[in-house]
Each structure stands twice: as structure tokens, then as C-alpha cells.
Chains A and B, each alone.
Chain A
Amino acid sequence: MKEINPTEAVYGGMKRAGIDFVASVPCVNLQELLCLVESDPEMMHVPVTREEEGVGICAGAYLGGRRPALLMQNSGLGNSVNALASLNGLYSIPLLMIISHRGGKGEPIVGQIPMGKSTPKLLDVLEIPRFAPTLAEAEKSVAQAWDLAQADGTPTAILLDIEFWRSD
């Protein structure tokens, strides 16, 4: 049996959820996923200049009937806080955030550590449900995170740390 890799697991979850609109700011850990999204004719892919811009574009896409996801590094969460609260939070607009969570075990870049530490707490303060699945759980967890986002009208976050990306 062929073993699934981290990128395929996350992509599989997005497909299962019916995600059809993706805004992104790249992270090195997302590079293969971004290629899959870009080449998927069922997903409209919008590379953006800043994560907050992606939150706005995804909200607009939802108004137009799409199922949006935002792919980014956790540093981008900091760039998106006001929009997540006063746009998604205010109007109950769902959004699936798939976040490469840097700054943990195995992090080579010292600059990633402060925001990496703050990321889970920041999500908690914003009352955004967060999930950190293992490779085995990832496909199901991503699909469930969208279902929750849609049912409750809220952003939800999948946090994928360095070890997750190395787990194949």
C-alpha cells in the first residue's frame, strides 16, 4: 500500500471538504501543496501579497458562493487579526486556514520562534477553533475543520508544525 505524504493528506482533506477557492502566501513547507492547488481545475487559486488581503478575498469569494481556504505561514496570522475579528467574526463568514506553524521543534530560523509561540494563544483569544492533526488524522481533520467553519460561521485553523511536514 502506498503511504500518503503530508501534502497529499492536506490536499485530500481540502478536496473532501469541497474547497474550491484558495488564497495563498507561500511557506517553504506549503510549496508542494501550492503546486497541487495551482494545477487543480476545480480550485481557483489567488496568490496574494499579504495574508490580510487573502482574508478579504476569501470573504468576498464566500459572498459569491465559494468554499474558501487560506494557505499561509503562522506569521501571516499576525497580519490578519483585525480582519479575522471585524470581517469574519462580525458577519459570521467561514474560512478554512491551513497554516504552516513555524518556530517549534526543529526550527532553524530564530526569527520564527516568537510568533510561533504566540500563534496558538492568538487563535484562542480570537476564539478561532484550532487543530493540530497527525499525518494519519490530517485528511479527516482538514475536512472537519471546514465543516465546523461552515456550520458555525467562523474561521478555523489547521496548524501544521515542522514535525508534521517531516512525518512521511
Chain B
Amino acid sequence: MMKRIDAIAIIAEEAESQDALLVGNIGFPSRELCVVHDCTSNFYMLGSMGLASSIGLGLALARPDKRVITLHGDGAVLMNLGSLATIADQHAEDYLLIILDNGCYGSTGCQPTCTSRKADLARIAAGAGVSEVATVSKPEELRLAVRGKGVLVVKVEKGNEKVPVIDLSPEEIIERFMARSAPPSPSS
């Protein structure tokens, strides 16, 4: 298994080469993303735990011409399992939901989640109707799988890097992101 920050570095590098928009989950995943690969096409979620998969879906539906990748966590996606059914239902043009699964609530002291015991997020996603589902744990598998769509579960080690909180205001995050994510001329 990889450290989460190493998985995030691979995903961010691939996302940039695909010219993808990247939505980062609340807490350490966004903080680690900001340290390893800050760029204007990253949206850092600072609140609303559980909603990364939904924000990414809304964006992917609004911009079928853009590739969208969401970085979720196992604890966060367990809060919003219904979003997997909606993702399956909606057939967004080019959307990949990545779940970094370390089996714990990493940002709050590593309390175990249900995925550390019985819950299998890939099977839940498949059961929700997502047709493309994969699970990887090695860097070279991840690099290939990040080119796909649907749901990708990445098994990573527990633990956080010592990274600072994101030194950008919510206004700065959304303003620079929307310069990339919104169409050049308003839709109406």
C-alpha cells in the first residue's frame, strides 16, 4: 500500500496531464493535495463533509466538455452513500470519483470506519449501479486507473503528513477555480 500523500501526488499529476478539474475532500486530503500539487484547477473543500462526490458530480454534469476527478475519503463517502446511486443514475460524460480508503477518519485522530472491518466500498458502488468500478493499491496500478471513469477505490495507509492548513481564503479558492471551471461566456 501507498501513503495517501503519494497516491494524491500521482493522481494530481495525472489530473493535470488530462487537463482535469480536481475536487479535494475536506481535511488532510485537500491539505496534502495543496502541498504536493497546488494549482488553480484544484477546488479545496473546507467544510461540508461528505459532499465532495456530489460537488464533483454537479460540476461534471454542468461541464460535459471537461474531465472532472473527485478525491474522496472512506469516512466522507460513507456519509453520502446515496451519491453513488445518483452518480450511477446520471451518466456524467467524464467523471471519476476516487475514494482514498485508509479505513479511518484520518483528520480527526484515526478512529476506524466500517471499511476497516466489513464494508466494501467497491461492492457498494457496484451495487449502486456504477458500471466501472476498480480497486487498486499499487502506484503503477493507480497511474493507469486514474485514466478511467466511474469509481476508483485506492487502498492507502493510515496516517497524515505534517502539512499546514491551506493558506488560501474560500474566496481565493473559488475565484481561481471558477476561472477554470466555468465556461468563458455565461450559459445564459
Question: B69: shortest Cβ distance to chain A, in Å?
Answer: 13
Asked whether A53 and B86 contact (CB < 8 A) given A63-B178, A90-B46, A91-B174, the answer is yes
Q: Is the CB of A57 within 8 A of B82?
A: no
A48-69 interface mask toward B, CB cutoff 8 Å, 1 = contact, 0 = none? Answer: 1110111111111111111110
Report, as a range, how many residues of chain B touch the other chain.
35 or more
Measured CA separation A91–B177 after assembly (Å): 12
Contact partner, A63, options B55, B85, B89, Cβ 8 Å: B55
Q: Is the CB of B43 within 8 A of A63?
A: yes
B47-59 interface mask toward A, CB cutoff 8 Å, 1 = contact, 0 = none? Answer: 1111111111111
Contacts of A62 in B (CB 8 A): 58, 62
Question: A14: shortest Cβ distance to chain B, in Å?
Answer: 12
Measured CA separation A57–B48 after assembly (Å): 12
B63 within 8 A of A: yes
Contact partner, B57, options A57, A66, A82, Cβ 8 Å: A57
A33 within 8 A of B: no
Measured CA separation A86–B151 after assembly (Å): 26
Q: Is the CB of B47 within 8 A of A87?
A: yes
Please, could you name 28 A-B residue pairs with CB atoms under 8 Å apart, sorted by A? Answer: A23-B58, A44-B62, A46-B57, A48-B54, A49-B85, A53-B54, A53-B82, A54-B54, A56-B53, A56-B57, A59-B55, A59-B58, A60-B55, A60-B56, A61-B59, A63-B43, A63-B177, A63-B182, A64-B62, A64-B181, A65-B62, A66-B58, A67-B188, A83-B51, A87-B51, A92-B171, A92-B174, A93-B174
A-B CB proximity, top 9 nearest: A60-B58, A86-B47, A64-B62, A49-B82, A56-B54, A56-B51, A57-B58, A65-B182, A87-B48
